[in-house]
Amino acid sequence: MALIDDLKNAQKDAMRAKEKLKLGTIRMALAAIKQKEIDEQITVDDDPTILAILTKMVKQRLDAAAQYDQANRDDLASTERAEIVVLESFLPQPLTDDEVAALIEEAMTETGATGMQDMGKVMGVLKPKVQGRTNMGALSGKIKARLNA
């Protein structure tokens, strides 16, 4: 079943169970998907695009929670973290460090990468494989470290 269908079914379940936070978060996710469809005049029906949207939403909530923590607004920070839990339930299982290292090695072999000039090639191969399963910033740092070794 497609991820969009999972979101829609979860929305219905949250409505039936009267789970306000979960329902609101899922509605925000579906609205973000619809906004992308309108902005780019496309039909989003593939999981990688939806994963990218959900990953972006998680990152935004992490940033907002950190800002709320700095402002001593624990109530708002906890709401953001609760939304992160809901969004992450639709993302695939995160990769372990060993799995990421193995994927980096595999991508370097596949592209024939030897130095920093090949960073884009390696990221291009890895991005579709790891989208939504690891922090892309951390991944970039690991690739740089490996290419500089």
CATH (domain of 81): 1.10.1510.10
For residue 87, the model assigns a pLDDT of 93
Instruction: Examine the domain organization and report whether 75 and 25 are in the same domain.
Output: yes
* Residue written as token pair 């920093």: 116
How many separate domains does the chain show? 2
* Residue written as token pair 């929670």: 65
What's the pLDDT tens digit per position in 42-88? 888 777 788 889 989 999 999 999 999 999 999 999 999 999 999 99
Instruction: Examine the domain organization and report whether 41 and 106 are in the same domain.
Output: no
Burial of 139 (0-12, 13-18, 19+ CB in 10 A): buried
Q: Record the pTM.
A: 0.76
